[in-house]
């Protein structure tokens, strides 16, 4: 017996990537490219999306508007830099870092 409700494409859509300026008027893409990215990344709930990885780890302000969903090298560089900056901050102020880690 089948399920009563099927998950729709809208239910699976990534809330971040498809609503971003990436698909807006600021960046010009062909309709085929937009359709491909939406199908491959947005409708797959953001799984495998470089933009979503940065968003989940650091927040929306760290996601470059012109980053492609498949630009994992750029995402890795952003995440690596953020980790190094966190480590440097911890070295400069270890007491604050300990207090932050206890509250988390």
Distance CA 73, CA 71 (A): 6
**pTM score of the predicted model:** 0.66
Give the residue with greater pLDDT, 11 vs 84: 84
Q: Determine contact, residues 59/102, Cβ cutoff 8 Å.
A: no
Cα(first)–Cα(last) distance of the chain, in Å?
A: 45
Q: How far apart, in whole angstroms, are the C-alpha atoms of residue 27 and residue 92?
A: 40
Q: Give dist(CA 45, CA 8) in Å, integer.
A: 11
pLDDT exceeds cutoff 60 at 88: yes
Q: How many CB atoms lie within 10 A of CB 49?
A: 27
Residue reference for tokens 């990885």: 53
Q: What is the pLDDT of residue 77?
A: 97
């Amino acid at each position: 017996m089948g399920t009563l409700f099927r998950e729709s494409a809208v239910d699976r859509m990534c809330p971040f990537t498809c609503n971003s300026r990436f698909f807006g008027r600021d960046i010009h893409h062909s309709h085929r490219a937009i359709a491909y990215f939406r199908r491959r990344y947005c409708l797959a709930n953001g799984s495998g999306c470089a933009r979503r990885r940065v968003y989940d780890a650091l927040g929306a302000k760290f996601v470059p508007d012109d980053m492609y969903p498949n630009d994992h090298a750029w995402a890795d560089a952003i995440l690596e830099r953020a980790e190094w900056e966190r480590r440097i901050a911890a070295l400069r102020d270890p007491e604050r870092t300990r207090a932050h880690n206890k509250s988390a």
